[in-house]
Amino acid sequence: TALQKRTGTSALSDEEADALAANLVQEIKLPESTQYKLGDLNISKDNSEESFTSYKNALNVILSRFVASQEENDLTVVTKALDMGDAKILEKLTAHITEYQTLEKNLLSLKTPSLFATPHLHLIQSYADMHAATEGMQKMFSDTIIGLAALTAYQGGIASLNAAADEYRNINPTTQ
């Protein structure tokens, strides 16, 4: 290659390796998540305690159904597939992707008190990002770079989900 001719070796310098890695990252085309906005939500102006309780209970039902729908979480499936060297295990993620779609639909339709609109949006977006990343992780064996980049994106979705949970905890509806 031109690099080998120029340097007389096949080894890359740290700067060249960093530049190559940066270029590769820019070229990776991960599945894109739907980008939601506040206008996509079912926002209610009712911020009463009853509205909050109803929202909280409905949200708990939706999230509990989602968790119960998965025998194993996405990372467990990917880890098993990699440990066993078996790409067929990743087929389990197809059902998870369908569950993410259902979760997003249910969360979008949930009547949300306006006080909780922003954290609710962040919650939905976190799951949408994890949904897209899960699609990418299915390619862990067929396109390792996409699979690994999707794994990193998935971890970012988890961090966003934790940040949304913190947003919820910081809202006290009785003082608003």
Which residues, 6 or more positions from 7, have their beta carbon under 8 angstroms from its beta carbon? 13
Read off the pLDDT of residues 77-113 as tens digits, 9 standing for 90 and up: 999 999 999 999 999 999 999 999 999 999 999 999 9
Read off the pLDDT of residues 38-56 as tens digits, 9 standing for 90 and up: 999 999 999 999 999 999 9
Q: Which of 68-77, 132-141, 167-176 bottoms out in mean pLDDT, i.e. has the lowest?
A: 167-176
Read off the pLDDT of residues 122-161 as tens digits, 9 standing for 90 and up: 999 999 999 999 999 999 999 988 998 899 899 999 999 9
Tell whether the model's pLDDT for residue 31 goes beyond 60: yes
Share of the chain above pLDDT 70, in %: 86
Q: 135 near 125, Cβ under 8 Å?
A: no
Q: What is the pLDDT of residue 7?
A: 47
At 139, give phi and psi (nearest 5°). -95, 15
Q: What is the pLDDT of residue 59?
A: 97
- pLDDT class of 20 with cuts at 50, 70, 90: low
Tell whether the model's pLDDT for residue 73 goes beyond 80: yes
Q: Give 162 or 173, the one with higher predicted confidence.
A: 162
Q: What is the pLDDT of residue 12?
A: 72
Neighbouring C-alpha atoms within 13 Å toward the C-beta of 42: 10
Q: How far apart are CA 99 and CA 141, in angstroms?
A: 23
